[in-house]
Homo-oligomer: A and B are copies of this chain.
Amino acid sequence: MIEKVYGAIELGGTKIFGIIAKDRSNILTRLILPTKLPEQSIQELTTFFKEGSHELGVDLQSLGIGCFGPLDLNAHSKTFGYVTSTTKPGWKFTDIKGVFENELQIPIFLDTDVNASALGEFSNLLDQNIESFAYLTIGTGIGGGFIINGKLVHGLVHPEFGHIQISHDKNIDPFAGNCLYHGDCFEGLASGPALEERWNIPPKHLPENHPGWDLEAEYISSALMNLLCTISPQKIILGGGVMHQAHLFRRIHKKTKRLMNSYIKSKYLDSLISELITPPTLKDDSGIIGALELAIRGLQK
């Protein structure tokens, strides 16, 4: 009997990851490529899946894709499954879902990169009964993926958590924010590029004792307070390049607790806050494992 396997793609702005896997513990083959123009990247990927499954003698059931956005995920739309108004050269209004469907003739399950990462991290939790789960990425951009009542949240479009408004005291921090759309939204104040613009140094070179990190933790905590008051998550995972600074976690635990000011009574907002807000468990694999979950769960529906 030919073995049933699944394909997964993490399509990033600079790098592309692909895998063929039986499940998350049985990855049969991997691919890493720089992101090129769409025709070329898609060609390289379809070749990988066609030749890979042929060489392995396996049967590809479905493909999950976590992709940079914005994406059109409205099934009733003409451009359903497209990357839409991206600034990435050559990729504007590129059909992703349709092209892979045509090439591979299997079901394709597409979602945003941050939703894929959220699903990857969620699927790796010990407690699968969590009703409200949040994954945030804080890096070049800021994004959020939420799993509520067992499913990723889409709604009107998809969450754009980086663009929420948070408290910004211009007397303490005169930096106007660098979001092209909203100035001092969360992303405009706290993304990697915002840190670099404010302090004139790449965040990874900003010393641990620099006051910029306390300010950063303040903004992240303010966003987490809003998240806690809105969807009341039982688990919040913070990933992305900025969060590689491990010292940020203890600052965030302290400040989030202080901001909540015991209004909501829960041991997870008090003594166990370091269990509520944690780093990713899959590290750099959240996205690709999440894309694999999209492929597997998509078929179960």
User: What residues of chain A have their CB less than 8 Å away from a CB belonging to chain B?
Assistant: 70, 84-85, 131-132, 144, 146, 148-151, 153-168, 181-182, 222, 225-234, 259, 261-266, 268-269, 276
What is the CA–CA distance of A160 and B229 in the complex, to the nearest angstrom? 5
Contacts of A153 in B (CB 8 A): 131-132, 148-149, 231-232
**Smallest Cβ distance from A184 to chain B, in angstroms?**
8
Contacts of A157 in B (CB 8 A): 232, 264-266
Residue A182 contacts which of B84, B132, B150, B261 (CB distance < 8 angstroms)? B261
Do residues B261 and A181 form an inter-chain contact, with CB atoms below 8 A? Answer: yes
**Which chain B residue shows the least CB distance to A165?**
B167
What is the CA–CA distance of A232 and B152 in the complex, to the nearest angstrom? 12
Do residues A165 and B222 form an inter-chain contact, with CB atoms below 8 A? Answer: yes
What is the CA–CA distance of A156 and B268 in the complex, to the nearest angstrom? 8
Do residues B165 and A166 form an inter-chain contact, with CB atoms below 8 A? Answer: yes
What is the CA–CA distance of A183 and B156 in the complex, to the nearest angstrom? 32
Do residues B227 and A230 form an inter-chain contact, with CB atoms below 8 A? Answer: yes
Residue A156 contacts which of B84, B132, B165, B262 (CB distance < 8 angstroms)? B132
Known contacts A181-B262, A233-B156, A263-B182; decide if A226 and B164 are in contact (CB<8 Å). yes
> Which one of A146, A151, A157, A168 has the greatest number of beta carbons of chain B within 10 Å?
A157
What is the CA–CA distance of A234 and B154 in the complex, to the nearest angstrom? 10
Do residues A230 and B231 form an inter-chain contact, with CB atoms below 8 A? Answer: yes
Known contacts A132-B156, A155-B131, A181-B263; decide if A231 and B146 are in contact (CB<8 Å). yes
Contacts of A132 in B (CB 8 A): 153-156
Do residues A158 and B232 form an inter-chain contact, with CB atoms below 8 A? Answer: yes
Do residues A263 and B231 form an inter-chain contact, with CB atoms below 8 A? Answer: no
Contacts of A225 in B (CB 8 A): 163-165
Residue A232 contacts which of B155, B162, B166, B259 (CB distance < 8 angstroms)? B155
Contacts of A168 in B (CB 8 A): 167
Contacts of A268 in B (CB 8 A): 156
> Which one of A156, A181, A269 has the greatest number of beta carbons of chain B within 10 Å?
A156
What is the CA–CA distance of A85 and B265 in the complex, to the nearest angstrom? 9
**16 sampled A-B residue pairs with Cβ under 8 A:** A132-B154, A146-B230, A148-B231, A149-B151, A153-B231, A155-B231, A156-B234, A158-B232, A159-B231, A159-B232, A163-B263, A165-B259, A182-B259, A182-B263, A227-B230, A230-B231
